[in-house]
Amino acid sequence: MTEKKASRRCFLRQASLASMAAGIAVGTAPALKAQMEMMPSAGTAAASSPGGAAPPGNPTDRLAYGVRSRHEKTLRSFDVDPLHMHFGRMMNVYTPLQDLVGSITPTSLHFVSAHGYVPPDIEPTSHRLMIQGMVDRPLVFTVDELKQLPATSRIMYLECQANRPEYKAERVDLSFGKTACVQWTGVLLSVLLKEAGVRADAKWIVAEGSENGRMTKSTPLSKAMDDALIAYGMNGEAIRPENGYPLRLLVPGFEAIHSVKWVRQIKVTDRPYMGFQELSRYSPRNPKGIEFTFAQGAKSVITNPSAGQQLTRQGFHEIRGLAWSGGGRVSKVEVSVDGGKSWKEAALQGPVLPVAHTRFTLPWNWNGEEAMLMSRCTDELGEVQPTLAQFAKFWGATSAEFLAGTASGAGHSNSIQPWGVRKDGSIYNAIS
């Protein structure tokens, strides 16, 4: 290191300490000044951070691994589902959709769903993924071995089957927040299955997680061979512990329960396993017996404005929301401000990716009168998002039964969400 560089670094350190202590910046370039103002020192928060407390943590740690501005307050809401308390803790953590911009969910705000078991704390070097069952050569992989195989990245959404408009929450994240869209990175499961040599009469895979309850889920082999992923990456870094660290299965477009977290085993079989989770909660019942449900239909929701929010003035507002489909790309989103009497086509923010959240927008001039906002997604398969009445009819029930929770055995719910706007600008959930 040259003397000049060394002395400059020394100057920076002293300058920042001096400015922290005194609460003033010495005569430095604007960029450096901004950087120094970001770095509070212990005990002098008030002096160095006018308007509030310093962000938590050590300043050098924050440079090594960033945190957001202390002025940003968006948080996930979470609850423990009392209905499932007797199975253990059912964890529901919701993506705060109303606070997001763009179409990628920040990793820290991704929803979490876990079935009665605490997310395991897995040491990655001791974790293994086993491929076995109806294969010629059972295989065991370490995480490092998987990382050396050809990598695939894919931006895609996940959505819990329990993301149900008919829960009728007075905030969009509480009825729609069990969905998120991030970039996942890993190895195509087909690469591993081909290496293991799947037998001709195999038809299913059964994936098993590593938590105490060892959640298992069956997925058709054809889907597993098509585009399922064994992921280790999430938005450019390791998957977060709650989302499946160090490895999770991802089954694009299927109900998220197929995407088994902390995956430790893929067993190739000729029939689905009726695991505890599949029997208890995720299999719609019809008179013929228990069914499995797979790909999710076209769905959308207006996130802004939405229930619990308040319009503070008449005039221009941009209606914003998210649309997605397990069947592929979103091809069209229509928005109604008069409860479905008339519809206008919204603009889609690109790139429009298959099986990914797609943001839509529509300019709206609020005249101060009552309004009813709705969005309706059409996907590239031509499937159109139904109203609750249409959705209920499909399952041989009524809207009232769905709203009362007595018909909740039905699969993925993708009905249209109406938000009512009152004359005072307050917004309520108008699903009926």
Q: Considering only residues 19, 92, 113, 175, which one is a binding residue for ligand MTE as defined by CB under 6 A?
A: 113
Nearer to ligand MTE, 98 or 259 (CB): 259
Nearer to Mo ion, 160 or 427 (CB): 160
Residues 255-274 that bind Mo ion (CB under 5 A): 257
Residues 141-160 that bind Mo ion (CB under 5 A): 160
Q: Considering only residues 92, 218, 259, 325, which one is a binding residue for ligand MTE as defined by CB under 6 A?
A: 259
CB of 324 to ligand MTE, least distance (A): 14
Q: Considering only residues 25, 112, 224, 319, which one is a binding residue for ligand MTE as defined by CB under 6 A?
A: 112
- CB count within 10 Å of CB 27 equals 6
CB of 79 to ligand MTE, least distance (A): 14
Residues 175-234 that bind ligand MTE (CB under 6 A): 209, 211, 215
CB of 262 to ligand MTE, least distance (A): 5
Contacts of 266 (CB under 8 A, 6+ apart): 129, 130, 131, 132, 133, 189, 192, 193, 205, 206, 207, 208, 224, 249
Question: Residue 119's Cα: distance from chain center in Å?
Answer: 17
- The C-alpha atoms of residue 106 and residue 186 are separated, in whole angstroms, by 19
Binding mask of the shown chain, residues 145 to 164, with x at each position contacting ligand MTE by CB under 6 A: -------------x-x----
Give residue 355's identity as a one-letter amino acid code: V
Strands 371-379 and 358-366: unpaired
**Does position 175 bind Mo ion by CB under 5 A?**
no
Q: Which does 189 bind (CB under 5 to 8 A by kind): ligand MTE, Mo ion, none?
A: none
Residues 325-384 that bind Mo ion (CB under 5 A): none
Nearer to ligand MTE, 34 or 279 (CB): 279
**Does position 113 bind Mo ion by CB under 5 A?**
yes
| Residue environment code for 147-181, b if the CB has 16+ CB neighbours within 10 A, otherwise e | eeeeebebbbbbbbbbbbbbbbbebbbbbbbbbbb
Nearest alpha carbon to residue 243 among 93, 355, 427:
93
Cβ pair 129, 141 in contact under 8 A: yes
CB of 24 to ligand MTE, least distance (A): 46
Please provide the DSSP assignment of 114-136 as one string.
Answer: EEESPPP---GGG-EEEEEESBS
**Does position 256 bind ligand MTE by CB under 6 A?**
yes
Q: What is the CA radius of gyration of the chain?
A: 25
Residue nearest to ligand MTE (CB): 209
Judged by CB under 5 A, the stretch of 96-104, 228-236, 253-261, 421-429 that binds Mo ion is 253-261
Query: What interhelical angle do 30-38 and 3-22 show, nearest 10?
Result: 60
Please provide the DSSP assignment of 16-40 as one string.
Answer: HHHHHHHT---S--HHHHHHHHH--
Q: Which does 36 bind (CB under 5 to 8 A by kind): Mo ion, ligand MTE, none?
A: none
Find where tokens 């928060």 sit.
Answer: 45
**Does position 243 bind Mo ion by CB under 5 A?**
no
Q: How far is CA 34 from CA 26, 40, 61, 105, in A?
A: 12, 12, 17, 27
Nearest alpha carbon to residue 203 among 142, 133, 140, 259:
133
Judged by CB under 5 A, the stretch of 109-117, 135-143, 334-342, 418-426 that binds Mo ion is 109-117
Instruction: Give the residues lining the site for Mo ion (CB under 5 A).
Output: 113, 160, 257
Instruction: Give the residues lining the site for ligand MTE (CB under 6 A).
Output: 110-115, 158, 160, 209, 211, 215, 243-244, 256-257, 259-262
